[in-house]
């Protein structure tokens, strides 16, 4: 269809769902998954400042 923009998605490692790219807080540059499906963390999972109870730990 002409004029329609296809929405790109990434897999959020925090909530385990496919999320539209515009809701990404961080998209990781991984060699393997970048070709198949980008990995990242959405704004809802990452937030502005993680706290001890609801924050997630990212090991890179």
Residue 19 lies in a domain: yes
> Looking at the domain assignment, is residue 34 inside a domain?
yes
In a domain, 27, yes or no: yes
Dump pLDDT digits (tens) for 3-56. Answer: 555 678 988 988 999 999 899 888 887 765 556 788 888 888 876 555 555 556
Residues counted in the chain: 60
Domain count, the chain: 1
What pLDDT does 6 receive? 66
* C-alpha to C-alpha distances, 36 to 15, 33, 50, nearest whole angstrom: 19, 5, 29
Structural domain including 42 reads 9-46
**CA-based nearest residue to 11, from 57, 47, 50, 30:** 30
Does any domain span residue 59? no
Q: Is residue 52 part of a domain?
A: no
Q: d(Cα 47, Cα 10) in Å, to the nearest integer? A: 17
The pLDDT, as a whole number, for residue 53 is 56
* pLDDT bucket at 57, cuts 50 / 70 / 90: low
33 in any annotated domain:
yes
Residue 14 lies in a domain: yes
């Amino acid at each position: 269809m002409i004029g329609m923009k296809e929405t790109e998605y990434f897999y959020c490692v925090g909530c385990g769902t496919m999320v539209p790219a515009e809701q990404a807080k961080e998209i990781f540059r991984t060699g393997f998954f970048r070709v198949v499906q980008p990995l990242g963390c959405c704004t809802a999972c990452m937030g502005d400042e993680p706290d001890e109870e609801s924050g997630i730990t990212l090991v890179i």
